[in-house]
Amino acid sequence: MTTHLDPLRYATLSFDCEVKSLYTLEDGLLGVVLDRTAFFPQGGGQTGDRGTLGDCIVENVEIRPQGTLHLVKNCEETVQKLAPGTHLHAEIDRDKRFSDVQQHSGEHILSGVVHRLFGYRNVGFHLSDQEVTVDFDGILTENDICKVEDLVNEAIWKNLPIRPFFPTEEEKDRLCYRSKKDVEGPLRLVEIEGVDLCACCAPHAARTGEIGALRVIRSEKNKGGTRLWILCGRRLLADTRQKLEQNRLVSTLLSAKQTETAAYVQKLRDEHLALQYEATGLRRRMLQAEADAAPVRPVQFAAVDTDPDTLLFFADRLAAKAERFAFCCTAGDDRRFILLTKTDFDLQPVMQRLRERCGARGGGRGGVMQGSLKATEAALRAALEL
Ligand SMILES: [Zn+2]
């Protein structure tokens, strides 16, 4: 059984220990059991601490049937260095711990505020290196979220103490606290005075000021409730830096003020759509003129780089100059095509040859067939018997 150092505060980030046992696990990992540890093991929706045992890197810590396992890459060197009985110095990755502490402590305040304002419960929490999500069992509108954000940040700036404690039996009965599930083992409560009281066994900040700030960066309806994506402190700074840089670049490209980029992009988009509409009209007039000028032939063949609607328009005009049918396709090897006749010519045998020789997919009825195929122009002409 591993002794957990300092389970109240998790202030220990560096300690000496002895390897008790070593397990070979799946995925090329070793599971190291120590006599004592200050690593936080994965649980409650968040990954475990990372760090080092001697010079071996601990990638995660998990509680498994064998015990609290410090997961290390399995290789000849680590097997030797982590043999049972070895005395080692352990270091917890302070940056990862601090980042997790900021997100997790921010989540406490957020959940406390949402519960107080709307009575919703936190029913899911996920904290990884990539994202932080919190699920509530009620609907939060954009306005609600702004209000919550304001109150959460007010609580952060008050720099309130975050107090973890093991309550007495009397306190357990008297106190009203949030709890996601029935707690196994000794109950540990975390109090942020006037904001939240919650059962939790993870590491937290000592005071709310360490969280820095919290923002909800995205929200979605989720199973009748709301999922919020949040960022706190250092992660929020990195995210903001990246997004502001994007906006700065867009602003420079558009010669627009940084607070007016969206309006400029909207204007550009409208102009782009209008030009696209005009270009389609011109293209159709050109193709129409080309079709009208074409001499009458048994079969009309054309490969043009255009959109599906214009392709159909062109095939229709060109078929008027075909004794049998018109075949129009887009340029390139991956082509859309249209087979069209204005007479009672049977297109089925032509379509069959396109399927067999050019891998054509698609179909149709009457005088129009369409689909996609991959073939060179020469292969197409051969299949069409041109
Ligand atoms: Zn907690």
Segments making up each domain of the chain, as ranges: 3-92, 97-240, 291-383
* pLDDT given at position 183: 57
Q: Give the Å distance between the CA of 30 and the centre of ligand 1.
A: 28
Contact 41, 48 (CB under 8 A): yes
* pLDDT given at position 215: 98
* pLDDT given at position 286: 93
Q: Give the Å distance between the CA of 124 and the centre of ligand 1.
A: 13
CATH of 97-240, picked from 3.40.1390.10, 3.30.930.10, 3.40.50.2300, 3.30.980.10, is 3.30.980.10
Q: Give the Å distance between the CA of 105 and the centre of ligand 1.
A: 6
Q: Give the Å distance between the CA of 111 and the centre of ligand 1.
A: 11
Q: Give the Å distance between the CA of 115 and the centre of ligand 1.
A: 15
Per-residue pLDDT tens over the stretch 4-44: 888 888 999 999 999 999 999 988 999 999 999 999 999 98
> Quick one: fold of 291-383?
Diaminopimelate Epimerase; Chain A, domain 1 (3.10.310)
Q: Give the Å distance between the CA of 8 and the centre of ligand 1.
A: 11
Helices 94-118, 233-254: inter-axial angle, 10-degree rounding: 90
Q: Give the Å distance between the CA of 35 and the centre of ligand 1.
A: 25
* pLDDT given at position 1: 79
Q: Give the Å distance between the CA of 162 and the centre of ligand 1.
A: 10
Q: Give the Å distance between the CA of 32 and the centre of ligand 1.
A: 26
Contact 97, 49 (CB under 8 A): yes
* pLDDT given at position 178: 84
Q: Give the Å distance between the CA of 161 and the centre of ligand 1.
A: 14
Cβ < 5 A residues, ion ligand 1: 200, 202
* pLDDT given at position 333: 81
* pLDDT given at position 182: 59
* pLDDT given at position 332: 85
pLDDT along the chain (386 residues), means of 10: 86 96 94 97 93 97 96 95 97 97 98 96 94 97 98 98 94 86 77 94 96 98 96 97 97 95 96 94 93 94 91 94 95 92 94 93 91 93 89
- pTM for the full model? 0.79
* pLDDT given at position 229: 98
> Quick one: fold of 3-92?
Elongation Factor Tu (Ef-tu); domain 3 (2.40.30)
